[in-house]
Chains A and B, each alone.
Chain A
Amino acid sequence: MSWTVRIAVELESDRGRFLRVSDPVPVETSLASTLALYDGLMAYPDRRAVRASIYSSDDDTDWYLATFVGGGAAQVDLTASTINNVAYATLPADVNLTVQTAAKLDLTTASDRDRDPNRVFTSEVNKPLYMPAGNTELLTMDDADRVQGFAANVTPVGASQYGFAPVIVGNRKTVHTLNVGTETVWQGSTLIATKGVASRTGITNANGVVYFISDDGIWTIAGRLGQLPVSSQLQDSAGVFEAELVGRSLTYVETGRGRRELWLHGGPESFVLSVDYGRWFTATRSRAELLAFNNVLYGSDGVRLYDEMETLDIRPIVLRTQPIRFDGYWARIEAMTVTGSAVTGLGFKLYDRGTEIKAGTIPASGVVRLPATNAKELEIELFGSRAGDGQTIDSIDLDVYVNRPARRRTR
């Protein structure tokens, strides 16, 4: 008959008791009629281990708790070393493998994998694989408030060098800072208690400022303790965009031509925030993954990798303003002046409350006369093809007459 032995160690972390089981070790019973297991020292390399048990099996399927010679379950309480990360026990007697108790090792419920979603672990400097037990910080008590990602809100002075600036830890419901207090003591504090990071790739440093996606929009952390909405609820007219923020990605890219952009991507549409302007634009195409590499922006549509070097291909432009209101009154639009480089030939359409009221092209002067054009909520649309890169539309100026109620004269 062939027997196997397993050692089970119970370990008590601050999240409960966990059972860790060794691989089965075969023992050959043909050697003798009686078998015993002997190890004068039972030890586990973690002082949180509290108990060790010896199980045996004759079918390699079900393991039952063995017994000590002289009686009693083959189970010992472990003692934690005072200075070493070890828990140990000396066995009081030999163990009969073939004399078992009824206690069966339940491998289906044995949980050997501990999950610590809201704790941060840090390594020693230059030793990424050395993570001392003391270099941890529990940020919240809420397991659902798990760590999503990290950033630092300064411009790095070298490769991943942030000086004394703390680590910003983006949890799912909250945002924290983590400081190195002394060489070994890490100090965490809550920075934002009401917002968290809604995506594992939804927090990043852009030109020294931390941006993150929360459930209610995209936010930035200015300085150490402030917060500023970049765009609360980038929500389109159908109202679906808000939900799609969860799971999307923020990537900062710095490329040639002075482009410093924060991309919101990973969904059906990509948006670009000009860091210099603090303004959002739609991207010409959506990208699943992005990377700025040697002054070139690279993007992936999922299966291919593209570079995004600009060319002189002609592509129509479309620009449409939000409705312009004139304090709620009717206005007569006398003229529209479009300034910029090479705006001549652009088409335009004017809408009032969604209805097209005028259309035409921009003349060489840039000034469009608009006789008999009245509107309460004016939308301006410009469209057409441009000849090349760098051509701009700087502004639109309107000459309007607004019909306002006359003020009553009083003595």
Chain B
Amino acid sequence: MPRRRKKSSPVNVPLGQLRKDVSGATAPVGALSVVQNLRPFGLVSRRGSVAHTPIEAENVVLPADRVTGTIVGLGRQVRDKRGIFSSQPSSSLDRFIIVTSSHVYVYDRPGDLVTEVYAFGSSSTDRRVQFAQIGLRTFLAVSDGPEASDPDALLMLQDDVCLEVAPPPPPVLSATAVSAANVDKLEVGVYLFRYAYELSDAVGDQIADPTIVALSRPYIHRQTVAGAVDFELVTVPQLGSWSQLIRRVGIYMTQKADETDTAQYLAAVPHLMNQPFYRVSSIETLEQGGSVRFADKSEKLPGYDALIDDNLFSHQLTPAAAFAYNRRLVVGDVSIDYAKPEANVVVYAGATAPPQIEAPFEPFVIPDGQTDYITITSVPDMRSASVVMAPPDYEYQFEGYNGAAWENAAAVDTAYSDVAGTYTQMRLRLTNTTNPDQAVQLTIDAANEYSSNQLVVSIEVAPT
């Protein structure tokens, strides 16, 4: 075939396009197969050029021995001020969040200060982390293992506090009807009440309604006298870091049902369950004995804020993916650990109804020189009971039982409170040394009993 030589023509080879996805046959002119220590340079409008990129220095900012485990995630904690959970007055407002296979740290670069804020239960280099910052709080959605593995944890970091977002156990609350002087407001009837922790959830300087967590199930309150109702914290569980986030315990109550018949009060439950709950009060002191009195007419309850009880965080949500979007937390691929049922059981001796403890207790006799025991059982939760013994010159001693301690076990005629948080017993040992053949009069005042009658008293005779 005849050929002819064309005159020389220029071929421009624009640089900068690394293409590993095409073979030589289809690569555009100028596509590169190898680029080392060069980066694109110049304006977009230029066809392309590359610039020498000197090797970055081996500036080790954080040596391996400063943190435990393998670094699996890097994030930022950006604050506009040091919050109330800041334990380091000179810490930076913009800090690293370093997630390793076993821990979470915040790293203050200017101060070169590494602070451990969380430890995972186990170490895994397969952990992956997604960060989402809402106001002053940064959320860490942690997954573990291969791509399809279960979410591992949702952590919340604020200042130097990092905790797992899992609702804490609810406190135990009692409601007691009282008729105080000049207070004749809350009518006799059957009510339902619930309670929950309220967080001060304003983020940054934004004003927001408090978030409620660990909302209890409804409880029955029978208002037996017109007047007021006292709500008292019988126990508060160990809250850990949550104690810093919780502001108060909110009390929510329905309007009354008129059923006053003790035997029939349960009949009012279906009606009450379909009534809204209103936030009637709150207990500000988060400790045993913290209480509040509520006194208002039932008909005025709709004037209080209604409870919105559809927060999914009553269960434990653990996502693998998290994102901050317009000040909302958005999560996906979620594992839901449903709330445990409250095993609020009452165990009693008998077959038909819980005993109503009435004073005085049946007198009994302890022979001279012998020892008997009175067992007072608090089931299942805490309450206080007053014990008065006569004659007073018996030798007596209070003992813990089943490992549970009762407060103030040194004196009689004092309120005794179960502080163990579970079903416990107090055993009162009585030794007769001075008044043989004289009856012991024992009075037990169960005034501060729980929402239903749950105090059990029995006598056991133990060998001396």
Contact = CB atoms under 8 A, between A and B. Distances in A.
Contact of A322 (B22, B199, B312, B354): B22
Contact of B341 (A22, A163, A259): A22
A236 interface: yes
Interface in A271-316: 271-272, 274, 276-277, 279-282, 284-285, 288-291, 293-294, 298, 300, 302-316
Interface string B327-341: 111111111111111
A390 B311 CA distance: 56
7 contacts: A28-B402, A43-B218, A118-B332, A121-B331, A304-B71, A388-B52, A398-B10
Interface residues of A, number: 174
Interface stretch (B60-68, B179-187, B363-371, B430-438): B60-68
A327 to B, nearest CB: 11
B386 to A, nearest CB: 21
A322 B16 CA distance: 11
Interface stretch (B39-47, B289-297, B406-414): B39-47
Contacts of B122: none
B259 interface: no
Given A40-B452, A45-B314, A315-B55, A396 B13 contact: yes
Contact of A41 (B30, B98, B218, B348): B218
Contacts of B380: 25
A45 B339 contact: yes
A90 interface: yes
Contact of B342 (A13, A22, A259): A22
A310 B33 contact: no
A120 B63 CA distance: 39
A94 B351 contact: yes
Interface in B8-35: 8-22, 24-25, 27, 29-35
Interface residues of B, number: 170
B453 to A, nearest CB: 10
A160 interface: yes
Given A52-B341, A150-B323, A317-B36, A309 B332 contact: no
A59 interface: no
Contact of B326 (A88, A94, A125, A303): A125
A88 B339 contact: no
Contacts of B58: 306
Nearest to A88: B273
Interface in B203-227: 203, 206, 208-209, 211-213, 215-220
A34 B350 contact: yes
Contact of B332 (A94, A150, A279, A314): A150
A366 interface: no
A122 B328 contact: yes
